[in-house]
């Protein structure tokens, strides 16, 4: 079996293999497979495929794309939380310096929006991010993006910790990455919203900080609101993050995450819920529970939002 065929087969069966890794401690389990010619395939919760230099060059780009497409298929079917394809790194490049944010990339003279690699002061390794170099001064790092419902957001804790989805479509960048970015340096938050009438609004905050996993990724600080969408997030300050399998909300009767099929910094339960079910429809005029994407100060509680973007960047400077 060729090295490419082997990699493709491993990627296709990953959903089955991954199921077996989630037993004892799903947060730390990982699988290392050594293949032909010393190539290493590492599958932590964030899937990373490493290939030798000879695989990256000499006209094998098509094979690499096929492998990545298979991984993205598994992500889309929620069998794995995140997929990333990394070329092998030579030992001489181990100490390569990476930008800490999209803003630093922009300040270095790159003004084109797209996918780049960054490494914060707290990150153990670089990771891919989607940068917006145009909106409101540019230099924004996406942490969430929704617009068509192609990605399932009703996922367990490990997925929200490490991130899931496709940077070219819908995704969540991961609570651990958000914690590292907002803790390394003061960060501002920009939330952009679109309702079912294609009206747009935004909420911007001059300071946004979440805590570490041991504190439930608590929404630690949020201040300095401005915008035209209204402030539907400050009421969540002091709330821990909850998912379908980890209930850290302030509601005693039920789990907010399970009731509304989502994951968020719930209190009792929410004024905003941007990871809610994607419905892209307007509810009836009768009062109904807000199961979809919600930001109550921007749209009627009985209406779902049609899309959202959450982005952060270092403040000032």
Give me the half-sphere count of Cα atoms (radius 13 Å) on the Cβ side of residue 166: 19
Instruction: Average the pLDDT over 205-232 and give the result.
Output: 98
Of 40, 73, 92, which one is at a domain's C-terminal end? 92
What is the distance between the alpha carbons of residues 69 and 67, in angstroms, rounded to a whole number?
5
Which residues, other chains included, contact 58 with Cβ-Cβ below 8 Å and sequence gap of 6+? none
- Going from the C-alpha of 176 to that of each of 46, 50, 143, 317, the distances in angstroms are 12, 22, 11, 25
Burial class of residue 120 (count of CB atoms within 10 Å of its CB; 0-12, 13-18, 19+): buried
Q: What is the DSSP letter of 292?
A: B
For strands 226-227 and 200-205, give the pairing.
antiparallel
Whether residues 76 and 116 share a domain: the answer is no
Whether residues 124 and 32 share a domain: the answer is no
What is the distance between the alpha carbons of residues 103 and 117, in angstroms, rounded to a whole number?
12
pLDDT greater than 70 at residue 26: no
Q: What is the DSSP letter of 84?
A: E
pTM of the model: 0.72
Give me the half-sphere count of Cα atoms (radius 13 Å) on the Cβ side of residue 219: 20
Instruction: Average the pLDDT over 198-227 and give the result.
Output: 98
Q: For residue 86, count other CB atoms closer than 10 A to its CB.
A: 16
Whether residues 61 and 140 share a domain: the answer is no
Whether residues 52 and 126 share a domain: the answer is no
Looking at residue 196, what is its pLDDT?
85
pLDDT greater than 50 at residue 281: yes
Whether residues 79 and 150 share a domain: the answer is no
Looking at residue 21, what is its pLDDT?
28
Of 92, 117, 148, which one is at a domain's C-terminal end? 92
Of 39, 58, 92, which one is at a domain's C-terminal end? 92
Q: What is the pLDDT of residues 161-201, one digit of tens each?
A: 999 999 999 999 999 999 999 999 999 999 999 998 889 99
What is the distance between the alpha carbons of residues 160 and 182, in angstroms, rounded to a whole number?
16
Looking at residue 30, what is its pLDDT?
30
Domain that holds residue 181: 102-314
φ, ψ at 94 (rounded to 5°): -60, -30
pLDDT greater than 80 at residue 23: no
Looking at residue 197, what is its pLDDT?
86
CATH code, domain carrying 145? 3.90.215.10
Least confident of 22-36, 192-206, 231-245: 22-36
Whether residues 119 and 257 share a domain: the answer is yes
The answer to whether residue 258 sits within a structural domain is yes
Question: Tokens in use for 140?
Answer: 């924004």
Alpha-helical runs (H) found in 13-52: 14-20
Whether residues 30 and 109 share a domain: the answer is no
The answer to whether residue 72 sits within a structural domain is yes
Strand, helix or coil at 76?
A: helix
Whether residues 14 and 80 share a domain: the answer is yes
- Separation of CA 123 from chain center: 15
- Domain tally for the chain? 2
Q: What is the pLDDT of residues 53-112, one digit of tens each?
A: 333 333 444 444 555 555 544 444 444 444 444 433 333 455 689 999 999 999 999 999
Looking at residue 290, what is its pLDDT?
59
Looking at residue 237, what is its pLDDT?
98
Work out the mean pLDDT of the chain and round it to a whole number: 77
What is the distance between the alpha carbons of residues 275 and 88, in angstroms, rounded to a whole number?
34
The answer to whether residue 250 sits within a structural domain is yes
The answer to whether residue 226 sits within a structural domain is yes
The answer to whether residue 128 sits within a structural domain is yes
Strand, helix or coil at 200?
A: strand
Whether residues 306 and 173 share a domain: the answer is yes
The answer to whether residue 97 sits within a structural domain is no
Whether residues 131 and 52 share a domain: the answer is no
What is the distance between the alpha carbons of residues 111 and 132, in angstroms, rounded to a whole number?
9
Instruction: Average the pLDDT over 15-37 and give the result.
Output: 30
The answer to whether residue 280 sits within a structural domain is yes
Looking at residue 285, what is its pLDDT?
55
Whether residues 114 and 257 share a domain: the answer is yes
Whether residues 72 and 127 share a domain: the answer is no
The answer to whether residue 33 sits within a structural domain is yes
Least confident of 211-215, 219-223, 291-295: 291-295
């Amino acid at each position: 079996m060729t090295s490419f065929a082997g990699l493709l087969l491993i990627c296709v069966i990953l959903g089955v293999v991954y199921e077996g890794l989630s037993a004892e401690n799903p947060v730390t389990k990982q699988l290392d497979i050594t293949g032909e010619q010393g190539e290493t395939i590492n599958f932590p919760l964030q899937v990373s495929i490493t290939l030798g230099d000879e695989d990256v060059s000499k006209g094998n780009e098509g094979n690499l794309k096929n492998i990545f497409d298979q991984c993205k298929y598994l992500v889309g079917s929620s069998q794995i939380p995140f997929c990333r394809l990394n070329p092998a790194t030579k030992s001489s490049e181990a100490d390569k310096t990476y930008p800490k944010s999209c803003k630093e990339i922009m300040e270095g003279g790159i003004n084109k929006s797209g996918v780049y690699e960054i490494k914060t002061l707290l990150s153990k390794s670089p990771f891919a991010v989607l940068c917006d170099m145009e909106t409101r001064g540019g230099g924004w790092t996406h942490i969430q993006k929704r617009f068509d419902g192609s990605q399932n957001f009703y996922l367990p804790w490990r997925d929200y910790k490490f991130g899931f989805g496709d940077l070219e479509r819908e995704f969540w960048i991961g609570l651990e990455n958000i914690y590292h970015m907002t803790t390394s340096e003061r960060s501002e938050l920009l939330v952009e919203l679109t309702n079912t009438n294609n009206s747009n609004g935004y909420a911007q905050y001059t300071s946004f900080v979440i805590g570490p996993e041991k504190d439930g990724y608590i929404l630690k600080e949020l201040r300095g609101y401005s915008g035209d969408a209204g402030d539907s997030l400050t009421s969540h300050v002091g709330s821990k993050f909850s998912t379908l399998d980890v209930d850290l909300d302030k509601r005693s009767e039920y789990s907010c995450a399970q009731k509304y099929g989502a994951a968020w910094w719930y209190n009792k339960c929410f004024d905003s819920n941007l990871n809610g079910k994607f419905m892209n429809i307007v509810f009836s005029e009768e009062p109904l529970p807000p199961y979809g994407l919600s930001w109550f100060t921007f749209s009627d509680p009985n209406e779902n939002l049609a899309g959202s973007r959450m982005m952060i960047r270092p403040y000032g400077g």
